[in-house]
């Protein structure tokens, strides 16, 4: 896995092998494009599923997936972007797919500074939805509802993101998991003055999240897992001493916003 779209330089070493998520991640969602008119040149470099993949997400309630604001906008909804649930591999036809019929993005999302990088997408079944295609259980994950976690806590993230830093490197077909530990963002020189209290940093000596993992889950606990973050951004991937930046999810960070967004009028696509 890896982190996001801030890909400053390409000099990242190849990471050690990651753990597959073969035990299942019932809440893992994929956001992908329904576009199919790829050019022959594009298809010669990458498979169609690879070109279509956009982001990860977390199923948090029936019909609702939590993701990053930079992963979705109204244009993507209008184009017919879709949600996939119950999938382990993206290079097969497995997984139940749904049409995204609306989204609610944080009204104060600031793309250049990555502030309030959080959004919800609502999905509905349509003619392409096949409930029998699920290759893994589909269940929502509970949201963390306690004080914000501090540095030094073991967490993990999952997704289909790139295995190395760089543009158009291609995504992983298999859902993978990376073990991380939370770290004080302010202790990292590269993030000093660039993060705020709504952000959480996490790192590993060997692994990271990267491009294609955006919007996906950062989870605390194995027996009773809870969602504590959303993959948001980072200064490259797999860099020595580096870390990924995640949107905090806890009692004081976005819990109220999430509840209000899911209860909002369907005509609303932004909420403060």
Q: Determine phi and psi for 23, rounding to 5 degrees.
A: -75, -10
Which residues have CB under 8 Å from 265's CB, separation 6+? none
- Per the rule left: phi > 0, alpha: psi between -120 and 50, beta: everything else, 169 is alpha
Sign of the four-CA dihedral 4, 119, 74, 121: positive
How many Å from the N-terminal Cα to the C-terminal Cα in the chain? Answer: 31
Q: Which helix (H) or strand (E) holds 59?
A: strand 53-61
Active-site annotation, residues: 70, 117, 214
105 strand-pairing partners:
119, 270
Q: What angle do CA 24, 123, 269 make, to 5 degrees?
A: 125
Q: Supply the DSSP string of 194-246, one letter for each residue.
A: T--TTEEEEE-SS----TT-TT-EEEE-SSS-EEEEEEEEESSSS-TT--EEE
Could you tell me which of 32, 80, 85 has the C-alpha nearest to residue 54? 32
Residue appearing with tokens 């999240």: 209
Report the alpha-carbon distance of residue 192 to residue 218 in Å, rounded. 22
């Amino acid at each position: 896995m890896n982190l996001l779209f801030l890909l400053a330089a390409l000099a990242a070493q190849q990471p050690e092998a990651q753990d597959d998520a073969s035990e299942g991640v019932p809440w893992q969602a994929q956001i992908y494009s329904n576009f199919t008119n790829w050019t022959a040149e594009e298809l010669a470099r990458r498979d169609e599923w690879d070109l279509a993949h956009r982001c990860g997400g977390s199923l948090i309630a029936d019909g609702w997936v939590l993701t990053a604001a930079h992963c979705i906008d109204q244009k993507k909804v209008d184009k017919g972007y879709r949600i996939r649930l119950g999938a382990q591999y993206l290079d097969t036809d497995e997984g139940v797919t749904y049409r995204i019929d609306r989204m609610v993005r944080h009204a104060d999302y600031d793309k250049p500074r990555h502030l309030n990088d959080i959004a919800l997408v609502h999905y509905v079944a349509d003619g392409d939805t096949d409930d029998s295609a699920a290759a893994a259980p589909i269940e929502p994950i509970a949201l963390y509802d306690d004080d914000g976690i501090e540095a030094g806590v073991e967490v993990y993230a999952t997704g289909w993101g790139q295995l190395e830093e760089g543009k158009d490197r291609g995504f992983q077909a298999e859902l993978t998991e990376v073990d991380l530990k939370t770290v004080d963002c302010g202790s990292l020189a590269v993030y000093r003055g660039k993060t705020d209290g709504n952000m959480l940093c996490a790192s590993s000596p060997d692994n990271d999240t990267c491009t294609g993992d955006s919007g996906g889950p950062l989870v605390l606990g194995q027996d009773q897992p809870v969602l504590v973050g959303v993959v948001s951004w980072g200064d490259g991937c797999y860099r020595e001493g580096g870390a990924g930046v995640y949107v905090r999810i806890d009692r004081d960070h976005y819990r109220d916003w999430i509840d209000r967004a899911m209860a909002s009028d369907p005509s609303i696509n932004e909420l403060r």
